Amino acid sequence: MKTAHRSAMWRRSGTAYLFLLPWLIGFFGLTLGPMLGSLYLSLTKYDLLNAPRWLGLNNYRHIFTADEYFYKSLTVTFKYVLFSVPLKMAFALLVAIVLNKGIRALGIYRTVYYIPSLLGGSVAIAIVWRQIFDGEGLINHFLAWFGIEGPSWIAHPSYILSTIVTLSVWQFGSAMVIFLAGIKQIPADLYEAAQVDGAGKLRQFGRITLPMLSPVIFFNLVMGIINSFQVFTPGYVIGDGRGGPVNSTLFYTLYLYLKGFSFFDMGYAAALAWIMLIIIGLFTSIVFVTSKFWVFYGDGKDGR
């Protein structure tokens, strides 16, 4: 009895592990070693060219007590996450709902809107973005028709971050596809029942769509937070690659990269990386902990 139960368990989790195998091999074979290596480096002074020198926690102490750029880069990154994640998700949800209204050739739209997600992280798109938002770029030509003289969006510290947020919102595709799949899962009879009871569209959205979608929202939120914290390419390409103008594109990862590869301080950069890991972990766990209050699983796991 007991053994039969165990073997059934094993069969089930064994299948799961089998599917996880590629990731596990990658993690233990490739990722784990460098991670531990960077943990060691974070406790040393390592200038890339000479052997690391043991420092203990000095790198961490310096980061928290004496590094102005650390706090600046955190501020820039937080601002970015705060704006880009909700905007991108709202936009993705909106488009998903529109596409769900039974448009013809849905497949084509889905593909077209998904493409930016594939391209968005690339250097080429960042360069295109630079051209569009340049002082004499497309956007300003457009504004000029209405007699508005637009600033140089990519060269002014007050505007450049919003340019980069726009770029990230434009990559709403992958979140949208997941939302779309989620919406299609919602049983139509719920809406029919609501309609019979006289609930309006808005009420249906608030009481049916959102709760039924909450697991998908949860997933997109977690992925969005993790990805946004690691933003690098747009800061490197659209900005001047050194965090300028006036540190307005000094994303955390860019600062880390500069410290490690340009300023010859890989130990310090490794310490920064570990702090980033902890920050991302913290935010993800906050979302996980709060999820039981707002994520609704239709399979009745939560007793409803």
Partner 1 sequence: MKKSLGLTLSVLLLAATTACSGGNNGKPAAAGNSGGAGAADQVELRIMWWGDQKRADKTNEALRAFESKHPNIKVVGEFAPNSGYFDKLNTQLASGTAPDVFFLGGNVTDYAAKSVLLDLQPYVGQELDLTDMDQTMVEYGTLGGKLVHISAGANARGMVLNTELFKKAGMEVPADGWSWEDYARISKEISDKLGKGYYGTYNFTVEGMDIYMKQRGKQVYDMEKDALGFGQQDAEEWFNYWYGITKNGGMVTPSLQVSNPPGDTSKSLVVTGKVAMSLIPSNQFAAHQNLTQDKLTMIQVPRGPKGTGVVFESSQGLSGYAKTKHPKEVAELMNFWINDPDAAQILGSDRGVPVTSKMRDLLMKEATPLEQTVYDFTSRVSEATKKEPFAVSYNPPNFTEFTKLAETAVQEIGFEQKDVKQGVEDFYTGATQLFGAK
Q: Which residues bind partner 1 (CB under 8 A)?
A: 47-50, 120-121, 123, 134-135, 151-152, 154-157, 168, 227, 230-234, 236-237, 240-247, 253, 257-258, 261-264, 266
For residue 59, CA distances in Å to 69, 80, 102, 213, 230 come to 14, 26, 57, 44, 21
- State the nearest-atom distance from the C-beta of 155 to partner 1, in Å: 4
C-alpha–C-alpha distance, residues 149 and 151, integer Å: 7
Nearer to partner 1, 70 or 214 (CB): 70
**E strand intervals along the chain:** 44-45, 53-54
Nearer to partner 1, 182 or 259 (CB): 259
C-alpha–C-alpha distance, residues 95 and 108, integer Å: 14
For residue 57, CA distances in Å to 29, 39, 177, 253, 254 come to 28, 11, 45, 21, 23
- State the nearest-atom distance from the C-beta of 263 to partner 1, in Å: 5
Nearer to partner 1, 183 or 240 (CB): 240
- State the nearest-atom distance from the C-beta of 121 to partner 1, in Å: 4
- State the nearest-atom distance from the C-beta of 191 to partner 1, in Å: 36
C-alpha–C-alpha distance, residues 263 and 109, integer Å: 46
- State the nearest-atom distance from the C-beta of 103 to partner 1, in Å: 29
- State the nearest-atom distance from the C-beta of 73 to partner 1, in Å: 13
Residues 6+ apart with CB under 8 A from 121: 171, 233
Nearer to partner 1, 182 or 239 (CB): 239
Nearer to partner 1, 110 or 242 (CB): 242
For residue 179, CA distances in Å to 108, 110, 219, 273, 294 come to 17, 12, 10, 32, 17
Nearer to partner 1, 173 or 243 (CB): 243
